[in-house]
Structure 1
Amino acid sequence: MIQLNKQQQEAVKHVSGPLLIVAGAGTGKTRVIVERVGFLLQNVPDLQPHQILALTFSRKAAAEMRRRLQEKYGERVEGCHFSTFHSFCNDLLGEQSKKKVLDKIDEWIFLRRHLEELGLDYYLRVSEPGKFLSDLVDFCSRCHDNLVSPADYANYVEKLASRLKDAAKSEKKPSENAEKEIEKQREIARVYERSERLQEEKGFLNYGGMVSRAVNLLKNSPETLEELQHRYRFVLVDEFQDTNAAQFELLVMLCEHGNLAVVGDDDQAIYRFRGASHGSFEQFQKHFPERKSIVLDENYRSTVQILSVAQTAISMNPPEDRLMPDKNLHVPKEKENERQGALTEIWEFSSEEQQAEYTASEIARKVRSGEAGKFSDFAVLYRKHRHRDQLVDALRRHGVPFAIRNLAIHRTPRVLDLVACLRVIGTPEDSVSTARAASHIQWGLELPRLVEYCQLASRGRRPLMEVIREKNGGKEWPGMQKFLEILDRFSRFSRFQRLSEWFDLMRAELGGMGGEEEKTAEDAFAAFVKKWDAEKSETGMLSEFLEYFSYFEEAGGSVNLPEDDEKENTTSAVGESTTLDQQPKLWEKPEADPLGKVILSTVHGAKGLEYKHVIVFHLLRRHFPANRKKPLIELPAELWKGPLPKGDHHIGEERRLFYVALTRAKNSLVLCTVTNERQQPSPFLEELRKAGFPDLISKKITVDLPQADKIKDQAIASQKQSGGSQITRWAKELMSNEKRDVTLSPSALETYLGCPLKYRFSATWQIPVPPGPAMLFGSIMHGAVKELVQLMSNDPQKISEEAIGKLWERHWKAGDFRDAVQERMYRKLGEEQLRGVWQVWKESGIQVLEQEKSFQFDWGSAHIKGRIDQIHRNTAGETELVEYKTGRPKTQKDAQESLQMTIYGKACEAALKIPIDRMILFNLSNQELLATSRKLKDYKEVEEEIRQTSNGIQEGIFPPNPGFLCRYCDFQNLCPAQEEAPKSYRT
């Protein structure tokens, strides 16, 4: 006890009654919890270990408290119950817990499979049926967090409708928007009820509902509640700031005796969603007015200078957003001299490349010169995983070993290879997976031959595998026959055996050419497959797994290593906690790396950890703080339990996350940013600069970047060493036959401008990809519109409602849609849009001149080709060009900036010799016609874009352009930018 400070001792020795401990970062809260348990067992008469319950949010945190308690007190504490909230509730539910528990991703998959039964209308997007489901799962979870049942929500909606009726009676006619909002709310209530009922009927229990169900169980079973109240004489809660209304209600019910001790820090509340950061503390204070409150504000982790910066940052949150605005986290007075340290530095760069290069070189210099201890003393923290990409490459170039926390191992090259093989076995028509699988280095296939196969398949509109099998007799590459034999053998297995029975055999046959790092990732994926078979599968067959995994990826699922996957799998994704000196086990071989490895982690992933040297990376406007993504549906404030935040709750939470990043640092802290024409520093950095205190120093840094050719050569050499599929390496190499005349369509030009590498895969290599649902619908729709307009032009009187229905049925190709929901919706939508076209043109008197008119001409050092939907003459004698658009309605701005329309206008002038008075973009979804025109400067701008694109293609410039749209790309499993770097570079 002598090593505890006064406040810590007070918290430990408090015996009976409610206790609120506000514990700032680095103030020893875990130690206080452990010491308190030991003190209670030693000083409370007749108290037994099993009568103490400690609750937290991660299994690792619970295990860590248990370990530290046993190390100090040994067998005397055997039986203390350390648990997460959800594990405790799962045990409490008894018979109900025998149901399969669905985490957030599996709930999404379940709902996706039962989409037709949910009764969605307004919220169902035909081109992407699953888009709404993530928001729905989160919404249902928020309802459970706030103890709002489907019946409660339905009652709320009916009250809204009643208010609307009352407004109508008082002569205030409700707006059309208000009535539409009521219908939307009724749909939400209906879907919430059906979602819960479907899961109940199928024997599932969703993760979000476990606590609320436990609360209801205790409300309906006084005997069970009384037994638990007697069993647990003392209850302790860690990370109390993250508790929601349902969890707090559970605590209140369990602790009628009042012996509830909670520990938390509202300044580190980064999972409160819309709730106030100090909401749980306010609820505690309100319910337990007789509580004892203790503040732990002496920090034993960071230097005086680091704490000064951190305190300044968090003080920017408004006072009403903080429980104790005057709370001052500080170094103990007796340690002020020894905890003096370096000033916090802001490193400002002119580009992201310079940021990555200098950061890597500085870490390497400091460790190798002896200025800093080990690589493992450094942590680089970032807001989102993609922010580390350039840093990973730079660390490799400088020979700096690193380990990535929460790495998505299903995006590592070796696992992508395995998944590609599974997809080829299960769906041989998948040409993208075939290209990756066939490109494995052990088969000996070279890029020119692969491209030849792809182009043959594309011209014949056949799958790539079909062409490869045709060529098999010629044995055109060394491993061709063995490759096909392996696929055939496992294809036979897949028809009769569960995937888990032959997956390891397939792994062995394919052979892993990488090192221990790749094997670790591969083993984790194998464990994922086995867990799916044991817990989530009905048949265990490959076809079922491929469907599941496709949905898994669409839902945003991530396969992590076991030690990175120990957190409670809730929609709040509470950050894991672990022992402070523990690094991720992935690629961690101390005997090979005596200096350890630099840790790369998101800020969320680093919560609860500490490092000697912290570099907060990529502090840019719109990146940190991240832009707020407004969900499609939110729980109304009227149904929210507890206080709601005032002001901008999103920025408040992002600033608390920034504060968490700063307070991970023990000895030194660096903040990195970029300033140029496109990028500006984070507002959080600007706030610190404006504060103008002496513990912060800014440095503008310029560093020489390595030559592009050297970077490419190093990347290629690294990939050759790792083995596996060579296709991402080939994506970076120049093929001699690509230096040729360039032919571009409007869509091909837009593809290159959007992502040059996607253009290479689709237009140069011509990897066959079947049309997606939206493209397939567009093709059917264009054919039907063409015939309808032709009939109307010949004899408009013959067109009737019935004739339009029959025309649509002739064009409909239901068998091409694999998804029943999309098939039904597109079928209905297409007929509605066709009738809309008829309504627009039937009285117009247009004279059709051309339909689907092909053109080709030379422009901007490229050969341009394409096809115009329609050219007609109106009753005023004007010639108009029409482009029909399915999908999301385009705006007038879209029409004005449309590259496609500019090329069409030039084609009419240069190739077709048809003077155009007006160009029209026809939105089929709402029958809106957007008129536009082009001037000489518009044509010159596009001509220059074509020239630059043509030069880029001829020079072999095909860089990836990673961004939001990558999730929709057919080629993401071939793209080097979408792979997680698995090889931790060793010196």
Structure 2
Amino acid sequence: MSGITLSEKQEKVASFIKGPLLVKASAGSGKTRVLTERIKRLIKLSNRKVLAITFTNKASEEIKDRLQDCENLNEKLFVGTFHSFCNYVLEKHGNVIGYSKLPQVFTEDSDRLKIIEEVIANIPSFEESYILKSEKERNTFKYDCLEAIARIKRNVILDNELKEKIEDNEIILLYLNYKNYLRSLNAIDFDDLLLEVYRLFASFPNIAALYRRSFEYICVDEAQDMNKAQYMVLKSLVGNSNPNLMFVGDEKQCIYGFIGSDSKYMNEYFIKDYEPAVFELKENFRSAKKVLEFANRIIPGSAEIKNTVIEGVCELKEFSNQIEEAKFVTNKIIELISLKTHQDIEGIIDYNKISVLGRTKYVLQAIEDEFKNNDIPYYYKTTQRSFELESYLGNVFELALKVFCPK
């Protein structure tokens, strides 16, 4: 992390210290870099903890990796998904809402399907209809039941609000029976993690205040993918104060709409509720201008060059055979390693920063031989063979040759 260089706009975000903050970061704008750099500074600044919320375990691990050189990282930072944070809270204070020990969390569909089948069997009106269905219809019916239950939880409807907000009494009956069945097993499902922590914070504000004092700063990555339950957990945690709450996201990259996610929680509700300072990061550091220009020459209009910062290099080379090509690639890698630095590359150039792409492993055989002859370390990262993909790529390469080598 040492020696990180930020653009002027990135620096303003990383150095923002007090109050709510919304960062609208487009693809390739260095969102994770800015987020981790800000967290690094907050860890050094604050005597309390920083809470970093992500949407995947992989994203959590990436943030941890980028902050490895921070002292006392485990004591100063909690980084994890919404669900892992809620699991942490229930482990500490679940007894307040009736859990004598940390409940088992059913995350697999197979487990939940078995439970809903048991619940259906104990509700006469559901059982009568269920028996008459075919096996395929039964599976569909079970998934429909689980989805109806999940919607109640994602919409943060507490038990005392069910009759007011749910018109179908049978759905209420199904929901309560499912909930009671889980409770008899000292278990909850994935959606319960959020709902139960919201219920805990809403019913016992003193416990929410305890976490509020523990975490001075809260940062939420990929905030465009937030749903109502996640937003309500955050609101119940930070209260009505002027929180040090940071949302980072890009509304164009919202991908979880099928489970209730909506960028309005970032773009509308957060702004309305907390009036954050708003920064926009539009610079594209992920792609290079020359590469995008090359792409547009092959397929016009396929790449947007606007806001691209890195100039890059992209050249078309033609060789008489594979060995000649392999020697060129190998010598180019040796040249880059010897240079050690490049204006478009952050840090020292090493083998881990270099990739060689090929349409099939077979066409890379000559390059592999050259690597062995020159003691260049390498490894393969391949995907399952797809004839359709190979055919498509072959057509693209053929088109490129016609455009740039018409002879």
Q: Same fold (TM over 0.5)?
A: yes
Structure with the larger RCO, 1 or 2 (CA within 8 Å, 6+ apart): 2
Residue 63 (structure 2) pairs with residue 65 (structure 1): yes
Residue 308 (structure 2) pairs with residue 331 (structure 1): yes
Query: Deviations 1:170-217 (Å, cap 9, x if unpaired)?
Result: xxxxxxxxxxxxxxx443333222222211222211111111110110
SS in 1 for 2:232: helix
C-alpha separation in 1, matches of 2:29 and 2:246? 17
Letter in 1 for 2:197: A
C-alpha spacing 1:339/1:376, structure 2 compared with 1 (3 Å): closer
Letter in 2 for 1:68: R
The answer as to whether partners of 1:331 and 1:339 remain within 8 angstroms in 2 is: no
SS in 2 for 1:130: helix
Question: Where does residue 111 of structure 1 map in the other structure?
Answer: 116
C-alpha separation in 2, matches of 1:264 and 1:311? 29
C-alpha spacing 1:51/1:124, structure 2 compared with 1 (3 Å): farther
Letter in 2 for 1:90: N
Letter in 1 for 2:272: K
The answer as to whether partners of 2:201 and 2:207 remain within 8 angstroms in 1 is: yes
C-alpha separation in 2, matches of 1:54 and 1:372? 42
Letter in 2 for 1:301: R
Letter in 1 for 2:307: H
C-alpha separation in 2, matches of 1:190 and 1:81? 38
Question: Where does residue 335 of structure 2 map in the other structure?
Answer: none
Question: Where does residue 20 of structure 1 map in the other structure?
Answer: 22
Letter in 2 for 1:35: E
Residue 94 (structure 2) pairs with residue 89 (structure 1): no
Give the one of 97, 101, 104 matched to 1:100.
104
Give the one of 245, 248, 273 matched to 1:287.
273
Question: Where does residue 281 of structure 2 map in the other structure?
Answer: 296
Give the one of 230, 234, 249 matched to 1:251.
234
C-alpha separation in 2, matches of 1:367 and 1:246? 58
Question: Where does residue 726 of structure 1 map in the other structure?
Answer: none
1:101 deviates by 0.6
TM-score, normalising length: structure 1: 0.31
C-alpha separation in 2, matches of 1:132 and 1:230? 45
The answer as to whether partners of 1:56 and 1:83 remain within 8 angstroms in 2 is: yes
C-alpha spacing 1:214/1:5, structure 2 compared with 1 (3 Å): same
Question: Where does residue 202 of structure 2 map in the other structure?
Answer: 219
Q: Give me the identity figure in percent.
A: 24
Question: Where does residue 338 of structure 2 map in the other structure?
Answer: none
1:154 deviates by 4.0
Larger deviation, residues 18-27 vs 366-375: 366-375
C-alpha separation in 2, matches of 1:231 and 1:3? 31
Question: Where does residue 431 of structure 1 map in the other structure?
Answer: none
Question: Where does residue 368 of structure 2 map in the other structure?
Answer: none
Letter in 1 for 2:249: G
C-alpha separation in 2, matches of 1:294 and 1:258? 17
Letter in 2 for 1:330: N
Question: Where does residue 35 of structure 2 map in the other structure?
Answer: 33
Query: Deviations 1:672-718 (Å, cap 9, x if unpaired)?
Result: 4999xxxxxxxxxxxxxxxxxxxx999499xxxxxxxxxxxxxxxxx
After TM superposition, the structure 1 = structure 2 runs for residues 256-405 of structure 1, keeping only pairs within 5 Å, are: 256-273=241-258, 275=260, 277-281=262-266, 282-289=268-275, 291-304=276-289, 305-306=291-292, 330-332=307-309, 335-336=310-311, 338=312, 369-370=325-326, 377-378=356-357, 398=362
1:141 deviates by 2.4
C-alpha separation in 2, matches of 1:379 and 1:237? 37
1:11 deviates by 0.6
The answer as to whether partners of 1:233 and 1:257 remain within 8 angstroms in 2 is: no
C-alpha separation in 2, matches of 1:278 and 1:616? 37
The answer as to whether partners of 1:376 and 1:598 remain within 8 angstroms in 2 is: no
Letter in 2 for 1:597: K
Larger deviation, residues 260-269 vs 296-305: 296-305
Question: Where does residue 382 of structure 2 map in the other structure?
Answer: 598
1:594 deviates by 3.7
After TM superposition, the structure 1 = structure 2 runs for residues 554-573 of structure 1, keeping only pairs within 5 Å, are: none
The answer as to whether partners of 2:224 and 2:250 remain within 8 angstroms in 1 is: yes
1:78 deviates by 4.4
SS in 1 for 2:53: strand
Question: Where does residue 144 of structure 1 map in the other structure?
Answer: 153
Letter in 2 for 1:209: D
TM-score, normalising length: structure 2: 0.70
C-alpha spacing 1:303/1:700, structure 2 compared with 1 (3 Å): closer
Query: Deviations 1:542-582 (Å, cap 9, x if unpaired)?
Result: xxxxxxxxxxxxxxxxxxxxxxxxxxxxxxxxxxxxxxxxx
The answer as to whether partners of 2:43 and 2:76 remain within 8 angstroms in 1 is: no
1:251 deviates by 1.5
After TM superposition, the structure 1 = structure 2 runs for residues 479-878 of structure 1, keeping only pairs within 5 Å, are: 594-599=378-383, 672=392, 699=399
Letter in 1 for 2:14: V
Question: Where does residue 337 of structure 2 map in the other structure?
Answer: none
Give the one of 202, 209, 217 matched to 1:234.
217
C-alpha separation in 2, matches of 1:143 and 1:151? 12
CA RMSD of aligned residues (A): 4.2
C-alpha spacing 1:226/1:276, structure 2 compared with 1 (3 Å): closer
The answer as to whether partners of 1:267 and 1:277 remain within 8 angstroms in 2 is: no
1:156 deviates by 3.6
Q: How many residues align?
A: 343
Residue 133 (structure 2) pairs with residue 126 (structure 1): yes
C-alpha spacing 1:287/1:339, structure 2 compared with 1 (3 Å): farther
Letter in 1 for 2:227: N
C-alpha spacing 1:64/1:206, structure 2 compared with 1 (3 Å): same
Question: Where does residue 478 of structure 1 map in the other structure?
Answer: none
Q: Which has the larger radius of gyration?
A: 1
C-alpha separation in 2, matches of 1:276 and 1:368? 52
The answer as to whether partners of 1:70 and 1:78 remain within 8 angstroms in 2 is: no
C-alpha spacing 1:100/1:75, structure 2 compared with 1 (3 Å): closer
Letter in 2 for 1:85: F
C-alpha spacing 1:78/1:223, structure 2 compared with 1 (3 Å): closer
